Structure formats: structure tokens, C-alpha cells
């Protein structure tokens, strides 16, 4: 029995013999009648006695670990005849192992007309598979996927809708919208935070369109999508997620040439040639490309080169991801790296402690001397100049420059506003100032921009705790939202005597930039409502409506509407006139009835205009008849 399908847990491994001069051959053979389990024991168990892999053979045998009843330790590897499993006469639709070693089988009864799929969950006991639970699906999905953590993804290609469910709790978790009438392949990022969907459309068996969508796995928010035209993508993954986060695609064009690209997974960016990243060098003067098919997992590529099977790290040292992107691949696109959370926390912690000690005795606070420092990483040169009049940062790249005074008008102290600064590996500048922390970015198009600001009180380490969070969700990956106490109208006088409102500019960028809107839209909505920011509230709502209902992108990021829908009652109470206008505006696009709106909003909202609601949705019919 040859092991042909392998599901890897924790690391990448294939059980083949990759000698350079020999064709691929199976290294291990497992027979159902093989009672010498020890001979294949190390195939599945690592030095820590934890699971390395499960396998399903091409002759329908399932191999999996068997645990002892008393100590719970793995004693041997069991080989099961899949045709002998309960309900094996059914047509197998999908088979997957979970991280807790349960086996999930999705089957079709094939009895008469379709009567729904059934999901069977089996557990192992005494060299047997015992049915643990049964779940019935009343629908016939076009495609089904499941993650090792028990997340079930069901795809309906008629509307391009993917639903996410938890197989253990049977709870619905999220919607994901892609282009309808497409075949898809999905992949969860290694950290489980992002869902990557590859959608392909065929006409007369000919590929006419291929796209990749990147979503937040927890709620279905779409960061971005890329159209790859007629490229046939055979491998894709999110790589270097902790250091510089890039979507890697491996594809073939119509001439069957290898095409390898990396792009920003969070904001649409230029495609960067990644052929160097996927070349394998045995000597300094020999460069060979991985051939189809291959696997990308945990920043490793497993595939064939010639007649050899090769496993290769994408780069030797993961700490060098950013210099590799900037210098070797010449990737100048923006970089978001989750590791900056830890870097920023380590930077500000000693200053918070030092400032706290100072406040115990104000007479001992020394005067801060003027600051003149230069910071430079890869694409931007920052200059920080602070004296008794201004705190100025200047940014220079090869084709643009800009400068900003960031000393707020309320700072009347003879000392400088800035205390210290450092440059992140992604070229952003971090400044610790009086009771605040600021992060700046620079681009030739938008010049210098403040993109984060947090208020920091003496004796308050909450920002450090937030930045140091290891929670396994988006809040533990991305930087926290700006502090509410610092988001207010503050003027900043510039050397040319003009006045800028940098915090207002930050809020405008958060509303305008879909990336920030996805991450912080809920916090912005709450802040605008609680603090009477009616102008910004209208801008936020209008922006969400435009992105959802008026976007040329297909499909639109419809989950953004959730930012509004979760706060409908509060919006109506805060600004009833605007809310009435809002309901009228979306009534041309969404079909509701009066009872639905009233029951949903619990009679807390003025609905006077709904006396004529039925005619609103009929306007288009009237216009067409005339």
C-alpha cells in the first residue's frame, strides 16, 4: 500500500526518497496485515511523541495513531480498511482529520434522490474507529472544505457564498463572498487568521478568469482581491506572516511558463517577481526552478526539481525577510509586520517607567535637550529635529520629500515634545512624546502621515499589555486602535505659519482607507456616536455605503455594512434626521418590509417615511414602464 495523500500537522514532511539521481519512489510501505507497527512508528511520531501526520492510501486504507486506554500515550499505528468503516457504502465526499485526532467523513447516501449529506465524526479506541457524532446537511454544496481545527467551509457557487461553521459546536461563524459561478480552492493561513480563496471560472472547459481573495477568517471582512487573468495558479499561500506578510502565488501562463509573484495581502499593490525566491541552488552557479506540483507550508516549499524531491526554506533565516524583500526582490510595496507590536512595546516600556518615576518629584525632572537624529532603513530617510520652537520630522525617498511639525499647540513647556524615536524595519517612524506614542509613515503620493496615536498616562501600562497580547485573533495580530482620549481636535502650527489638524487627518484616512476601516471601523463608530462627532459619523456611514452598494468591485466587501448595522439604534437616537435619509437611501438597494425593520429595531427608531416605503422599491419598475 503506497501512502499517497498526507496531511501534515506542525511541520512539512513527505515520505519519499529524494535522491538526486534516482526517480521518485516510496520510502515506506504499510500493509493492512502488517503487525510490526514499530517499523512505521517513526513515520508518524516525532521525538516528543506527538503526531506528525495522518495518511489515506490509494487503495482506501486509513492509517492513524492508536492510544493506550490507561496512560493516553500513543502505542502504535493502526491501519483501517475505509470500506469497513460505518456507513462505508455511501459515496465519500470529503475526508479530513482534526487536530484532536478525530476523523471526519462527509458522505452521500446515494439512495434515490438527494436527501442531504451526512457528516460523521469518528474517534479512535482500541484499534477501532467509533462513531462520535452525526450531522446532517440538508443542502448539496458545490464544494466542501475543512480545517484541522474543525472549521467547516461550505460553498454555493450560484451566489458565490462561502459559509463557515464550527464542526464541534455547530455554530455559524462567518460569510465570505467571491465571484459566483466559479470553482474555488481555499486555504487558511498558517496562523489561522486569514482565509485565502482561489476562484476560477471556466467557459467551455477553458479558463477565462482566475482571482484570489484575502479575508479575515473570523468575520468575513475582505482585505483585497487580485485578478490573475488566464494564469493557472497551482500553489498559493500567505508567507512571512509575522515579518512582512506577502501573498505568494505560483502559476503557469498560457505558454506553460512558470510565473511566480508576491503581493501585499492587505492592500492592493504592484505584483513583484518572486522567481528568485523559488529557485533552488545546489552550487553558486546553478539555479533551478521548482516544478509543478508543489506545496507551500510554514514558509517551506516541497516539490520536485528534475527527478528529485526537495524541501527548501524560502529563505535561510526568517529574521531577514524584510531585507530580502527590499534588496533581493526589489519589493517597494508597503509592509505590515505583526512583530512590530513587540518591538514598539519594548521601545516604550523604559520611558513609561522613567516618566512615572519623574512624576513622584516634579522638582527632579531634568530639562530635555534639543534632538537632532537621523533614521534610515531601506526606502525612507527620516530626520528628527526638535528645539524650543518646533518638533519637526522630515522624510526623504528617492523621488519625494516632506516635513511636518508635530508639536501640538497645547504644549507650552520649554522642553521638546518628543522624547525618543526609532525606525521600524518597514520604514515607519515611532515617536514617544509627552504622554503619547505616535507612528508615522511616508509615501511619495500621500507624503508624511500619522497612522497611529495612543495616549499614555503615568503608571499606566495598558498600551504595553495591548501591544504584547498573544491572543489568536486579529486583535493579537494587528496594532490596537488609537486611544479615544487622544482623538480630539488639536491644532499643529507649521513653520510656514499654516495650521494642520493631524488627528483629524488621521480620522479621515481611517474612513477613506478600506484597510483601516476593516480593522477599526467598529471602534470609530462607537467613538463618533459617544462623542457627538456627527460630521465624522456621516462620513463613516457614507463611506461604508459607497464601498458596499456603489463599488465597481465584484463582489463588494459587503461585510463592511456590519459596521453600520450593529449601531443602527444608536445612530437613529443620535441623529434621527440623518438616519431617516440613510434608510431612504438604502431602500433603493435593499428590500425590507415594515414589520422587519420595526421588529429588528425594536420600535426605537422613527419610521415616519415608511408610510410610503412600498413605493420606494417600486420606483425602478415605474421608470421602466414609462
For 548, the enclosing helix (H) or strand (E) is helix 534-549
397-434 exposure pattern, b = at least 16 Cβ within 10 A, e = fewer? eeeebbbbbbbbeeeeeebbbbbbbebbbbbbbbbbbb
Tell me the CB-side half-sphere exposure of residue 72, using CA atoms within 13 A.
Answer: 3
Q: Report d(CA 273, CA 259) in Å as an integer.
A: 8
CA 110 to the chain's CA centroid? 38
SS3 state at 43: helix
Which pLDDT score, from 0 to 100, does residue 604 have?
Answer: 45
User: What are the domain boundaries of the chain?
Assistant: 1-140, 338-512, 516-626
Answer whether residue 386 shows pLDDT above 70: yes
Answer whether residue 321 shows pLDDT above 90: yes
Answer whether residue 387 shows pLDDT above 60: yes
Q: Report d(CA 383, CA 396) in Å as an integer.
A: 9
Answer whether residue 34 shows pLDDT above 60: no
Which pLDDT score, from 0 to 100, does residue 193 have?
Answer: 92
Which residues partner with 492 through β-bridges? 500
Which carries the bigger pLDDT value, residue 116 or residue 57? Answer: 116
Share of the chain above pLDDT 70, in %: 72
Q: Report d(CA 381, CA 398) in Å as an integer.
A: 9
Which pLDDT score, from 0 to 100, does residue 48 have?
Answer: 40
Answer whether residue 202 shows pLDDT above 60: yes
pTM over 0.85: no
Q: Give long-range contacts, CB 8 A cutoff, 24+ apart: 227-230.
A: 230/254
Which pLDDT score, from 0 to 100, does residue 127 have?
Answer: 62
Which pLDDT score, from 0 to 100, does residue 169 have?
Answer: 85
For 477, the enclosing helix (H) or strand (E) is helix 474-477
Q: Report d(CA 479, CA 462) in Å as an integer.
A: 13
Q: Report d(CA 331, CA 260) in Å as an integer.
A: 14
pLDDT band at 310 (very low <50, low <70, confident <90, very high): confident
pLDDT (mean) for 225-237? 88
Which pLDDT score, from 0 to 100, does residue 553 have?
Answer: 82
Grid coordinates representing 40?
512505521
SS3 state at 578: helix
Q: Report d(CA 140, CA 169) in Å as an integer.
A: 21
Which pLDDT score, from 0 to 100, does residue 58 have?
Answer: 56
Answer whether residue 358 shows pLDDT above 50: no
Which residues partner with 226 through β-bridges? 212
Q: What is the pLDDT of residues 246-264, one digit of tens each?
A: 999 988 888 878 889 999 9
Question: In terms of Cα–Cα distance, which of 378, 368, 273 is closest to 335?
Answer: 378
Q: What is the pLDDT of residues 109-150, one digit of tens each?
A: 665 565 678 888 888 776 677 888 888 887 778 888 988 888
pLDDT band at 231 (very low <50, low <70, confident <90, very high): confident
Share of the chain above pLDDT 90, in %: 34
Cβ-contact 352, 464 below 8 angstroms: yes
Which carries the bigger pLDDT value, residue 88 or residue 399? Answer: 399
Amino acid at each position: 500500500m503506497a501512502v499517497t495523500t498526507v496531511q501534515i500537522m506542525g511541520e512539512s514532511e513527505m515520505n519519499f526518497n529524494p535522491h538526486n539521481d534516482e526517480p521518485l519512489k516510496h520510502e515506506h510501505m504499510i500493509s493492512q496485515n502488517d503487525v510490526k507497527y514499530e517499523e512505521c512508528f517513526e513515520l508518524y511520531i516525532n521525538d516528543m511523541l506527538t503526531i506528525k501526520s495522518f495518511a489515506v492510501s490509494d487503495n482506501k486504507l486509513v492509517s492513524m495513531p492508536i492510544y493506550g486506554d490507561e496512560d493516553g500515550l500513543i502505542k502504535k499505528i493502526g491501519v483501517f480498511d475505509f470500506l469497513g468503516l460505518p456507513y462505508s457504502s455511501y459515496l465519500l465526499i470529503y475526508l479530513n482529520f482534526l487536530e484532536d485526532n478525530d476523523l471526519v467523513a462527509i458522505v452521500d447516501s446515494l439512495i434515490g434522490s438527494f436527501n442531504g449529506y451526512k457528516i460523521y465524526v469518528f474517534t479512535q479506541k482500541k484499534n477501532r474507529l467509533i462513531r462520535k457524532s452525526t450531522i446532517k446537511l440538508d443542502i448539496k454544496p458545490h464544494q466542501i472544505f475543512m480545517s484541522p481545527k474543525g472549521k467547516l467551509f461550505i460553498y454555493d457557487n450560484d451566489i458565490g457564498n462561502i459559509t463557515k461553521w464550527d464542526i464541534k459546536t455547530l455554530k455559524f461563524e462567518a460569510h465570505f463572498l467571491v465571484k459566483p459561478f466559479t470553482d474555488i480552492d481555499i486555504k487558511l493561513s498558517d496562523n489561522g487568521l486569514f482565509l485565502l480563496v482561489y476562484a476560477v471560472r471556466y467557459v467551455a472547459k477553458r479558463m477565462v478568469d482566475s482571482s484570489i481573495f484575502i479575508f479575515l477568517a473570523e468575520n468575513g471582512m475582505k482585505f483585497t482581491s487580485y485578478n490573475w487573468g488566464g494564469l493557472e495558479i497551482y500553489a498559493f499561500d500567505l508567507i512571512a506572516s509575522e515579518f512582512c506578510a506577502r501573498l505568494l502565488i505560483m502559476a503557469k501562463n498560457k505558454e506553460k511558463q512558470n510565473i511566480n509573484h508576491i503581493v501585499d495581502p492587505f492592500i492592493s499593490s504592484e505584483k513583484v517577481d518572486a522567481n528568485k525566491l523559488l529557485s533552488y541552488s545546489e552550487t553558486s552557479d546553478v539555479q533551478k526552478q521548482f516544478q509543478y506540483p508543489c506545496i507551500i507550508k510554514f514558509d517551506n516549499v516541497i516539490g520536485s526539481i528534475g527527478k528529485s524531491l526537495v524541501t527548501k526554506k524560502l529563505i535561510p533565516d526568517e529574521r531577514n525577510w524584510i531585507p530580502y524583500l527590499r534588496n533581493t526582490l526589489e519589493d517597494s510595496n508597503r509592509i505590515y509586520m505583526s512583530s512590530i507590536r513587540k518591538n514598539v512595546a519594548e521601545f516604550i516600556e523604559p520611558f513609561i517607567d522613567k516618566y512615572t518615576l519623574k512624576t513622584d518629584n516634579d522638582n527632579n525632572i531634568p530639562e530635555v535637550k534639543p534632538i537632532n537624529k537621523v533614521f534610515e532603513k531601506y526606502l525612507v530617510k527620516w530626520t528628527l529635529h526638535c528645539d524650543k520652537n518646533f518638533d519637526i520630522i522630515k522624510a526623504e525617498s528617492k523621488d519625494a520629500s516632506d516635513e511636518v511639525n508635530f508639536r501640538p499647540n497645547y504644549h507650552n513647556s520649554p522642553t521638546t515634545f518628543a522624547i525618543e524615536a526609532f525606525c521600524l524595519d518597514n520604514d515607519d517612524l515611532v515617536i514617544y512624546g509627552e504622554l503619547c506614542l505616535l507612528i508615522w509613515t511616508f509615501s511619495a503620493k500621500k507624503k508624511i502621515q500619522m497612522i497611529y496615536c495612543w495616549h499614555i498616562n503615568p503608571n499606566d501600562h495598558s498600551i504595553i499589555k495591548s501591544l504584547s497580547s498573544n491572543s489568536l485573533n486579529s486583535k493579537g495580530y494587528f496594532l490596537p486602535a488609537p486611544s479615544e482620549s487622544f482623538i480630539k481636535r488639536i491644532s499643529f502650527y507649521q513653520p510656514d505659519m499654516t495650521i494642520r489638524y493631524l488627528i483629524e487627518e488621521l480620522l479621515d484616512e481611517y474612513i477613506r482607507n478600506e484597510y483601516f476601516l476593516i480593522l477599526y471601523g467598529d471602534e470609530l463608530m462607537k467613538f463618533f456616536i459617544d462623542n457627538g462627532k456627527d460630521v465624522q459619523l456621516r462620513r463613516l456611514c457614507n463611506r461604508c455605503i459607497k464601498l458596499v452598494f456603489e463599488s465597481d468591485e465584484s463582489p463588494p466587501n459587503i461585510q463592511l455594512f456590519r459596521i453600520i448595522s450593529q449601531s443602527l439604534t444608536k445612530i437613529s437616537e443620535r441623529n434621527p434626521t440623518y438616519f431617516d435619509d440613510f434608510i431612504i437611501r438604502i431602500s433603493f438597494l435593499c428590500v425590507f418590509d415594515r414589520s422587519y425593520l420595526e421588529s429588528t429595531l425594536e420600535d426605537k427608531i422613527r419610521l415616519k417615511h415608511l408610510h410610503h416605503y412600498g413605493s420606494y422599491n417600486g420606483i425602478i419598475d415605474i421608470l421602466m414602464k414609462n
